[in-house]
Structure 1
Amino acid sequence: MDLSPYLSYFFTCFTTLFVIIDPPGNLPIFIALTEKFSDEMRERISKRATIIALSILILTMVTGGKILDYFGVSINSLRIAGGILLFIASVDILLGGTRKEAYKRRAEESIDVDSIAVFPLALPLYSGPGAITAGIVIYSQASDIFMRAIAVLSAFLVYGIVRLSHIYSSPIIRLLGRSGADIIARIFAIFLAAIAIEFVFDGLYGELLEMGIIG
């Protein structure tokens, strides 16, 4: 049995989700949102946010294709729309972004720990439109049950890294510094922009192919 297609697919799934979800780049935002809470509360927020984000992504990955079919939306249309959203997000990160301040204001306005875990941490920070779109797209590319399992496993691994980044947030931030984490986020944003353009081109190519404009 040739394992190379499966290894290649795993690498594609893992790197795509890792770059989009961006655990190290989002770590300063997590810290900013939870810095006023005790360690016990931060642990509770982290666990809840990670589980909810993972659940959202897995659910949309598995059912997204059927939902698109129900509404008559093609996967190519999703690629184009998702690519545009990802590109906008990447530009926002590269330019410094407004996400951090907006999310921090949200945390300062709320004393509800569970509410913060759901919004803005789980959604949209760790399972936003970009991650959901990427999850649906890569899952739709799976040709058999093993590849589908690989896509799901990749999501588990990425969110496992998210959870570890929360657990070791203090030493990671001490090592990287706030500016170091921001630099990593901007580097990932460049790759995110490239993935976004690839999504758009793949979607356009697929649409043109289906319309018979190109052969």
Structure 2
Amino acid sequence: MDNIAFLIYSFSTLFAIVSPVSGVVTFVSLTSEMTLDEKNALANKSVILAFIIAVFFAISGEVILDFFGISIDSLRVAGGILLFTVAFDMMLAKVSRESITEKEINKSMERSDIWIFPIALPLLTGPGTITTVIVLMGSAASVIQGLEVFVAISLTFVIALVLFHFSRRIYKLLGYTGMLVFTRLMGLLLAAMAVNFIATGLWNIYTSFQ
């Protein structure tokens, strides 16, 4: 895969799993009682923290895998299965159980640190996002492609920040139905990427025994 194709692949994969447009619905519900300034300040803190978490695992992911003796292909297969379950929930227009449950959303309404939990973690950087950045870094064939993963992470969270800042306008424009349609489309795209993760991982594991 050349550098441009890898950048597009990395960004599209991360954008699909983070799915900031779908996250707007949850973000709006959690910040409905806040003023505009309070909402934007919370958006800044939550997206920055999510970005830091993603970058941390992108840098340290290989070390963590080596420590536990896990191959990148094993993570591809496990991560692909996880991403497919997330995609299945998205195609049914449901809040993914991998990210956050309805019960957690309701309980979070009473807490003051919702920018940490559940918005930064796990809404924006859940297990699926963490797995994806580690796999993408493991898939990078050169230093340039490794840097492109960081570019893809940055682009994804910059878009998330903009969407959260304009979340109320976007929600009014698209409406709940529009959000559900977008969520289903992202779910379909993510399901295809999950199958690719699983197929690539299984094939590499099989060839390693040849």
TM class, shorter-chain normalised?
A: over 0.9
Corresponding residue of 1:62: 59
SS in 2 for 1:84: helix
Deviates more, 1:141-150 or 1:160-169: 141-150
User: Is the Cα–Cα contact under 8 Å of residues 33 and 103 in structure 1 kept in the other structure?
Assistant: no
Corresponding residue of 1:183: 181
User: Is the Cα–Cα contact under 8 Å of residues 85 and 130 in structure 1 kept in the other structure?
Assistant: yes
Corresponding residue of 2:88: 91
Corresponding residue of 1:116: 114
Among 194, 197, 207, the alignment partner of 2:195 is 197
Measured after TM superposition, the shift of residue 100 of structure 1 is: 6.1
Matched to 2:143, the amino acid is I
Measured after TM superposition, the shift of residue 141 of structure 1 is: 1.5
- The separation in 1 between residues aligned to 2:68 and 2:152, in whole angstroms, is 28
- Aligned structure 1 segments of 4 or more residues deviating by more than 4 angstroms: none
Measured after TM superposition, the shift of residue 95 of structure 1 is: 2.3
- Deviation by residue 1:24-72 (Cα, 9 ceiling, x = unmatched): 1111111111112222221121111101111111110111011101110
Among 136, 139, 143, the alignment partner of 2:137 is 139
Alpha-carbon RMSD across the aligned residues, in angstroms, is 1.5
Among 2, 6, 20, the alignment partner of 2:3 is 6
- Deviation by residue 1:177-201 (Cα, 9 ceiling, x = unmatched): 1110111011100111111111111
- Deviation by residue 1:76-127 (Cα, 9 ceiling, x = unmatched): 11111111111111112222324463343032232x1xx2111111111101
User: Is the Cα–Cα contact under 8 Å of residues 50 and 162 in structure 1 kept in the other structure?
Assistant: yes
SS in 1 for 2:207: helix
User: Given the alignment of the two structures, is residue 31 of structure 1 paired with residue 13 of structure 2, yes or no?
Assistant: no
- The separation in 2 between residues aligned to 1:84 and 1:102, in whole angstroms, is 24
- Structure number with greater Rg is 1
SS in 2 for 1:140: helix
Q: Which runs of 5+ in 1 are unaligned?
A: none
User: Given the alignment of the two structures, is residue 53 of structure 1 paired with residue 19 of structure 2, yes or no?
Assistant: no
User: Is the Cα–Cα contact under 8 Å of residues 90 and 186 in structure 2 kept in the other structure?
Assistant: no
Corresponding residue of 1:150: 148
- The separation in 1 between residues aligned to 2:65 and 2:2, in whole angstroms, is 27
% same residue: 32
User: Is the Cα–Cα contact under 8 Å of residues 90 and 190 in structure 1 kept in the other structure?
Assistant: yes
User: Given the alignment of the two structures, is residue 78 of structure 1 paired with residue 83 of structure 2, yes or no?
Assistant: no
Aligned length: 206
Corresponding residue of 1:106: 107
Corresponding residue of 1:42: 39
User: Residue 207 and residue 187 in structure 1: after superposition, are their counterparts in 2 closer, same or farther (change >3 A)?
Assistant: same
User: Is the Cα–Cα contact under 8 Å of residues 33 and 104 in structure 1 kept in the other structure?
Assistant: yes
- The separation in 1 between residues aligned to 2:173 and 2:48, in whole angstroms, is 27
Corresponding residue of 2:157: 159
